[in-house]
Amino acid sequence: MTSRFRSKEFWTPAMITGGGLLMALILIAIIAPSTMKQAAEQLTPHAALGPSAEHWLGTDDFGRDLLARALVATRLTLLMTAGAAAISVVSGVVIGLAIWLSGRRVREIALRILETAVAYPSLIFALVIAAVLEPGVSSAVIAIGIAGIPGFARITANLASAVSSSDYVVTARLLGVSPVRIAARHMLPNMAEPLLILSATVFALSLVEISALSFIGLGVQSPEYDFGRLLNDSLGALYTQPVEAVGPSVMIALTGLSVMLIGDALAAHADPRAKRSFFRRVLDRNRTVPLAESDTALVRVKNLRVSIPGRQELVKGVSFSINPGEVVALVGESGSGKSLTAMAVAGLPSEDLAVDADLLRVGDMNMLAAPDQSRLAKEISIVYQDPGTTFNPSLRMGSQLTEVLRTHLGMGRAEAREVIVNALASVNITQPAHRLRQHPHELSGGMRQRAMIAASIVTSPKLIVADEPTTALDVTVQAEVLRQFRRIHREQGTAMLFISHDLAVVEALCDTILVMKSGEIVERLTAAELAARKVTHSYTKALLAAIPTLELGSAPATSGAPTS
């Protein structure tokens, strides 16, 4: 916690502005009442004056200095707000945790009630309480504090439920740690940060609502005054002396803003995604590259480098080529740079990365420039790792799988569907026409991946880039998907760049195997060399040794072997 305050990233402009404002307001709250009380509360004959050097914001009907009144009111407003926010947060956390700790039945009923309560406008809820109690400082604090409890209790219950399903809480429960101890040891510490951020929001809301109560005359009563009360006073004189509204308005806005900015900054700090920075790539101007007659390769990569700008090089000068019809594998462990290399070849690198190379071409398309989108879509197809997330959940399979055909090949809806139905049938998907009417979640993972493969072949691409296409699949499904890749290669002669961490998988499918480690290609092997275990680099040897292989002694009886 302490090291965070020293870190540069923590002190963003929002944090500095918000923190500075809040400090200033707290100082005013401490100092103003003792030094300006006289000017703020003494009745003088200088009534209803406009702004002047002596009274910057003028005076009210009783001749009191309006600026002084606004500043003095800061103490009462901040104290009331802090009190109400504390009631909401503390009771909310206690109730939220209690709900989580109670049994399933009680929990469900309690959550239902909370849900109803949250839906109810909290200000009206506060009005009910204010209507029951006598108007005044303490009843305003209690009313707003109580009105904020359901919201915070619900947040706590939701956070608790998210944290409680994490493995470490489950394990602690299995060890027999009592629920109260789990809450204290495991849950609260891990919920503290989001709860703190949300407390800032609660403070801002309490401020608005307490002031609202006073503003409509149900909160602080004369002669006491807070920002809302002052604003209410100004309402009567709005036509004659509109400047009277300025003081309390600005003070409320500044207080709210300071807390909002702090909350925003804390939230941004907790979210790693917010820290990403965009890198504007300098694109090569030539969309195509001239091809030497001797250069028959489909893909040529020379000295490819991918880096986080200004920080770290992730791919360090990789060179290779793919001949038409060749199946090339990039193999390595996580962090080896194999996927980054593949996505650079496919022209889809992540936007915060810098890509550079002496040459990076697919056919005559210069992948360091912005090649023609239609050509890219037709000539390079991509199959991704996780079929569970690669499809848009809200569109039917049919309209997604036919996108490229309709957008880039100019086919009509009916024609594109017919092409896709045939392609789906060719990858052994049953009832293909029916599948097109389904949403992605209605298909199994293996089926979705085969559908992706079907969509990738309908444009007769020159290159298929497959990024760990079988990693998320079961072994039996993996075998089926690999068979589809093999069949496509045999029937259409499509070149492939196949990314995998599994040497056994690529051994069966690929012609050439490139082993990557820490952003470099450390060894190039032919399928025959790999099969014969003729490897030279120590990393490849280690990798081969690490892969557990199935040892069956004698082959199993083939009579019962599946034929699928």
Residue type at position 108: E
Scanning 26-34, 57-65, 216-224, 429-437 for contacts with another protein by CB under 8 A, the matching segment is: 216-224
Residue window 489-528: x/- pattern of binding to another protein, with contact defined by CB under 8 A: ------------xx-xx-xxx-------------------
Point out which residues pair with 307 in neighbouring strands.
Answer: 313, 354
Considering only residues 265 through 304, tell me which ones interact with another protein, judged by CB under 8 A.
Answer: 273, 276-278
Question: Phi first, then psi: what are they for 337, rounded to 5°?
Answer: 90, 10
Q: Assess 103 for contact with another protein (CB under 8 A).
A: no
CB 169 within 8 A of CB 182: yes
In angstroms, the CA 244 to CA 258 distance is 23
Give the closest residue to 179 by CA, choosing from 160, 198, 192, 195: 160
Considering only residues 56 through 85, tell me which ones interact with another protein, judged by CB under 8 A.
Answer: none
Scanning 23-31, 54-62, 230-238, 286-294 for contacts with another protein by CB under 8 A, the matching segment is: 230-238
Q: Assess 541 for contact with another protein (CB under 8 A).
A: no
DSSP for 263-287 reads HHHHHHHH-GGGG-----PPPPS-S
Between 39 and 92, CB nearer to another protein: 92
Q: How far is Cα of residue 245 from the mean position of the Cα atoms in its chain?
A: 41
Candidate list 9, 333, 364, 491; residue touching another protein; CB under 8 A: 333
Considering only residues 165 through 204, tell me which ones interact with another protein, judged by CB under 8 A.
Answer: 166-172, 174-178, 181, 185-186, 189-190, 194, 198, 201-202, 204
Considering only residues 401 through 420, tell me which ones interact with another protein, judged by CB under 8 A.
Answer: 403-404, 407-408
Q: Assess 384 for contact with another protein (CB under 8 A).
A: yes
Candidate list 91, 221, 323, 390; residue touching another protein; CB under 8 A: 390
Between 59 and 540, CB nearer to another protein: 540
DSSP for 201-266 reads HHHHHHHHHHHHHHHTTSSS-TTS--HHHHHHHHHHTTTT-GGGGHHHHHHHHHHHHHHHHHHHHH
Considering only residues 344 through 383, tell me which ones interact with another protein, judged by CB under 8 A.
Answer: 346, 348, 350-352, 373-374, 376-377, 382
Nearest distance, CB of residue 296 and another protein, angstroms: 26
Residue 322, CB-side half-sphere exposure with 13 Å CA sphere: 31
Q: How far is Cα of residue 521 from the mean position of the Cα atoms in its chain?
A: 33
Count the Cβ atoms, other than its own, within 10 Å of residue 298: 18
Nearest distance, CB of residue 404 and another protein, angstroms: 5
Candidate list 47, 131, 270, 433; residue touching another protein; CB under 8 A: 131
Scanning 31-39, 71-79, 423-431, 545-553 for contacts with another protein by CB under 8 A, the matching segment is: 545-553
In angstroms, the CA 199 to CA 492 distance is 61
Candidate list 66, 97, 141, 205; residue touching another protein; CB under 8 A: 205
Between 249 and 288, CB nearer to another protein: 249
**In residues, how long is the chain?**
564
